[in-house]
Amino acid sequence: MSRILVTGGTGYIGSHTVVELIQAGYQVTIVDNLSNSNIDVLQGIEQITGVKPDFENVDCLDYKNFNAVFDRFPDIEGVIHFAASKAVGESVEKPLMYYRNNLGSLVNLLDIMNQHKVKNIVFSSSCTVYGQPDAEHLPVDETAPRKTALSPYGNTKQINEDIICDQAHAQKDLNAVILRYFNPIGAHPSALIGELPNGVPNNLLPFVTQTAAGIREKLRVFGNDYNTPDGSCIRDYIYVVDLAKAHVKAIDRMLNENGRDQVEVFNLGTGRGLSVLEIIRGFEQATGVKLNYEIVGRREGDIEQVWAKADKANNVLGWKADTPLDAILLSAWQWQQRLS
Ligand code: UFG
């Protein structure tokens, strides 16, 4: 049984991925400093899978202790690197924290992997690297140009991609898969793990479910005067469990398939763009709960519309995000009900 190290494995996407890895037969070691997650997530993972993953409460910036994890688990064959700070607004307020955390963690990781002869890394990137694609690049595929980042957070994703490419150039036995996520939403169907937003949510879905639960009075829809069919912004919302499964496919491919490129990039999205108002209607239909919302002005820095061309992941990874929207939205609501 191959062992995979998952940094940030108690976080939102990380925990769902750990579940899928275990269910696919992998052994998992989680490294997480719990800076934006809760230790109880481990129980949820165990309840779903029947297996408690090995857990190391270590900060990836702490070279000595991070390195010691690799000493303790000499059978690690691949790493999935989720651990990062991820709030766009916070990154504008605290750029140094973002550059230190997000760049330093990856540099430490690649260095330690090289020393321990661990040759496979899957990296969590984001569709934020595309910025607002030009009309001829929508839906956006992996060959679309990256745009200047709008936030330090977005910039760290671009620089991290570059660090991986530069290291792969220098270290020919390093294999990397860069996964560019679109907008992950929803929770595990068991409602035992899900997203745990810190304070007032920035992202749409946690705000929707908290409003439905009465924790927030009103959802604000940021703008209805965009150049889109209903005037609200369009995103590619992807079910977090589908997203998690793509990581298993990426690891399977790295461990078992020959003839890969040394660094491969995949968009992970559904290929379907949905507006904010469509999400609201979809949520009301899926759950039967009416949402209190109002249209307000645009949010600074928002991209008007972006959705994925996911053909490469479909064809090369043999993966497709195919969970119906109502099931996804219902899972988010069931998780919220469990939390509140
Ligand atoms: N929105 C609202 N009201 C809210 C929250 C969001 O109308 O209360 C709208 C936004 O204006 C946007 C859409 O819902 O049109 C999605 O917003 P999110 O904040 O959920 O997601 P973003 O697409 O802005 O950002 C997400 C991630 C970032 C990542 C980015 C990549 O949060 O980490 O996708 O494009 F960088």
Structure confidence by residue, pLDDT tens digits, 60-105? 999 999 999 999 999 999 999 999 999 999 999 999 999 999 999 9
For residue 237, how far is the Cα from the chain centroid? Answer: 12
Q: What is the pLDDT of residue 2?
A: 97
- Ligand 1 nearest atom to the CA of residue 130, by list position: 35
Q: What is the pLDDT of residue 139?
A: 98
Is the separation of the CB atoms in 283 and 204 below 8 Å?
no
Q: Beta-carbon neighbour count of residue 114 at 10 Å?
A: 15
Q: What is the pLDDT of residue 1?
A: 86
Residue bearing the CA closest to ligand 1, atom 1: 204
Q: What is the 3-state secondary structure (H, E, C) of the chain?
A: CCEEEEECCCCHHHHHHHHHHHHCCCEEEEEECCCCCCCCHHHHHHHHHCCCCEEEECCCCCHHHHHHHHHHCCCEEEEEECCCCCCHHHHHHCHHHHHHHHHHHHHHHHHHHHHCCCCEEEEEEEHHHHCCCCHHHCCECCCCCCCCCCCHHHHHHHHHHHHHHHHHHHCCCCEEEEEEECEEECCCCCCCCCCCCCCCCCCHHHHHHHHHCCCCCCEEEECCCCCCCCCCCEECEEEHHHHHHHHHHHHHHHHHCCCCCCEEEEEECCCCCEEHHHHHHHHHHHHCCCCCEEEECCCCCCCCECCECCHHHHHHHCCCCCCCHHHHHHHHHHHHHHHC
Q: What is the pLDDT of residue 61?
A: 98
Cα–Cα distance measured from residue 19 to residue 162, given in angstroms and rounded to the nearest whole number: 29
Most informative mutation of 155, 161, 204 for ligand 1 (most atoms within 8 A of CB): 204
Which parts of the chain sit beneath pLDDT 70? none
Closest CA to 225 of 291, 304, 131: 304
Q: Which residues line ligand 1 (CB under 6 A)?
A: 86, 88, 126-128, 154, 183, 202-204, 207, 219-222, 233, 235, 276, 299, 302
Distance 205 CA to ligand 1 centre (A): 9
Cα–Cα distance measured from residue 263 to residue 165, given in angstroms and rounded to the nearest whole number: 7
Tokens of 250: 């990426």
Cα–Cα distance measured from residue 124 to residue 179, given in angstroms and rounded to the nearest whole number: 5
Residue bearing the CA closest to ligand 1, atom 16: 204
The phi, psi pair for 117, rounded to 5°, reads 60, 35
Residue bearing the CA closest to ligand 1, atom 35: 128
Cα–Cα distance measured from residue 195 to residue 332, given in angstroms and rounded to the nearest whole number: 9
**How distant, in Å, are the alpha carbons of 23, 115, 123, 299 from that of 265?**
25, 25, 10, 30
- Ligand 1 nearest atom to the CA of residue 203, by list position: 20
Q: What single letter denotes the amino acid at residue 299? A: R
- Ligand 1 nearest atom to the CA of residue 151, by list position: 36
Cα–Cα distance measured from residue 20 to residue 22, given in angstroms and rounded to the nearest whole number: 5
For tokens 């998780």, what's the residue? 335
For tokens 């560019």, what's the residue? 180
Q: What is the pLDDT of residue 174?
A: 98
Q: What is the pLDDT of residue 198?
A: 85
